[in-house]
Structure 1
Amino acid sequence: MTIEAGEIVVWVLVFLRTGAFFLGIPLFAGKMIPVRIRTAFGLLLAILINPLVPANLELATHFAGAILLAVNEVCIGLLLAMTVRMVFFAVELAGHMISYEIGLMASNSVNPLLGSTDATITTLLYYFSLLIFFVTGLHYDVLKAFIMSFEILPIGAFFLKANPTLEFVNEVNHVFIIGTLISAPFIALNFMVNVSFAVLGKAVPKMNVFMTSFSIRILAGLTLLVSSLLLITSYIVDNGRRSVEVMLDIIQNG
């Protein structure tokens, strides 16, 4: 059994796309998962799907063309991964806004998965969204969409859209919309607490409004957070499914 040079080139290009994808998707993007583990997952997926991948290696006959194809595959993998991560960026943004509104912005905790220090609410919501992502089977949909990307944009093909980044920019805009929608009840809660204690401070001048309102804001905010978990779950699931569609649409030629 002989292996032709073209087959090796195709496998390397497939591995570059899968490797870049696993470097960027949630769970594998953090510092807690060693690079070797992420690379191994990308290598395994590349081996499994390589026989099914269509390829056009006209440019690979030249060194400059091969480098261009390699960069193209890495960019595609990272773009698809970032599209999925947009859901988690929205949750993290909402976590920061919620922490600010209920007065827990100074309460920080280490996120071992990402290797960063964030507000406690942000870290909790990130792990909650990650749990929902796997429990609802969204990771299967993401992997299926990623494999379909080789049919939509085969190895050796390039974006034909005039401006493929426009949809990605729209996704960034969508992150702020979803983050604001999730945190909107907490913004309203903070407003009502401030107005209530402003009136109470005028009625009872000797009352320590600041300390009392601080405690009430935290208690009411945590209560609202627990009661809003179902709503947050629906946002995560809906936008997770939407991200799967965007993954394929953002690389769709034509």
Structure 2
Amino acid sequence: MPEALGHVYLLYLLVGARLLGFTLAFPPLALPGLPVLWRLGVAMGLSLMVAPLLPPNQTWPTGAWGWIWWWMVELVVGLALGFVAGIAFQILRTAGYIMGLQMGFGMAELLTLGGAQDTMLAQFLFLLGTVLLFSTDAYQLVIEALVRSYQLLPLGGAVMKGGTAWLVTQLVGGLLSASLQLAAPVLAVTVLIDASLGLMVRMVPQINVFMLGFPLKIGASLLLLGLLSTALGTVIGKLLLEISHDMTLLVRGLS
């Protein structure tokens, strides 16, 4: 009886390793204000629900070092899943950073003693994506993809392949292009404003372009974002729906 209980305890630790790695790498669950113990509690709570759903023909490691190796493998798999799932949020953050720099919000970093790494707009889009993730029940698709990963990729069965590395490279490579597409309307407006101010300086050299340009670009860009708020929410929703698809592709590549 004690051996059976010990086996069950190790099983839950093994299942929780993949979930723990995911909670550590998934940006909405890895916010600086969230304690690590909270993430550990989420991982172990999910493991209690996932463990009974494991296939009956699951094989188990032998010996202490076998369990340790499998635990490390599952932790790496969870980190990889969290990284791939977080690409959508990195797209939002990068798009907000690009828009913020063009609008003039990047100047706030020079005046911040703490050395903020993101503009205000980058933080806004990231938090907006987090709110939409939990308010639109898109998080259920993420949990479903996690549960499905145990069926597609058994415990300890991860194998690194060349196709998997190429998949991750494609996802990361598409990050910048997707960010530029998301920030394209604001970039177009700021370029037009800069060009117009350049022509005005030619005609009236006494105009202070910097004093006029900053509020003009910020106001026009914020107005544009307000007008495109519905379309922006639709685009963010599509990005969130792609999370579970990307996770499934990664799991299939590792199996």
Alignment TM-score, normalising by the size of structure 1: 0.89
Paired residues for 1:1-254 under 5 Å:
4=4, 5-54=6-55, 55-57=58-60, 60-108=61-109, 118-159=118-159, 161-253=161-253
> Against the structure 1 CA distance between its residues 191 and 141, is the aligned structure 2 distance closer, same or farther, given a 3 Å change threshold?
same
- Conservation of the 8 A alpha-carbon contact between 2:101 and 2:119: no
- Stretches of structure 2 that go unaligned for 5 or more consecutive residues are none
> What secondary structure does 2:251 align onto?
coil
SS at match of 1:250: helix
Give yes or no for contact 1:159–1:251 (8 Å, CA) kept in 2. Answer: no
Query: Are the counterparts in 2 of residues 101 and 190 from structure 1 also a CA contact under 8 Å?
Result: yes
Shift of 1:226: 1.7
Deviation at 1:224, TM superposition (A): 1.4
Q: 1:209: Cα distance to partner? A: 2.5
Distance 1:48 1:91 in 2: 31
Q: CA deviation at 1:68?
A: 2.1
- Displacement, 1:183? 0.8
Counterpart Cα distance in 2 of 1:62 and 1:163: 32
Question: Displacement of 1:213 after TM fit?
Answer: 2.0
Q: CA RMSD in A?
A: 2.2
Q: Percent identity?
A: 23
Cα displacement string for residues 128-160 of structure 1 (whole angstroms, at most 9, x for unaligned residues):
111111122110100011011000001121226
Aligned residues: 248
C-alpha distance in structure 1 between counterparts of 2:187 and 2:174, whole Å: 19
More helix by share: 2
Contact 1:22 1:29 in 2 (8 A): yes
Q: Structure 1 residue 94: deviation in Å?
A: 0.6
Deviation digits for residues 48-86 of structure 1, max 9, x if unmatched? 2211113321xx213443232111100111111111111
Which amino acid in 2 is paired with 1:197? L
Question: Aligned partners of 2:45, 2:202: CA distance in 1, in Å?
Answer: 67
CA shift digits 1:28-60 (9 cap, x unpaired): 201211111111111111112211113321xx2
Rounded to whole Å, the distance in 2 between the matches of 1:186 and 1:140 is 32
- Give the 3-state SS of the residue equivalent to 1:104 in structure 2: coil
Distance in 2 between residues matched to 1:158 and 1:36, nearest whole Å? 27
- Deviates further, 141-150 or 202-211: 202-211
SS in 2 for 1:235: helix
For residues 160 and 14 of structure 2, the distance between their equivalents in structure 1, rounded to whole angstroms, comes to 19
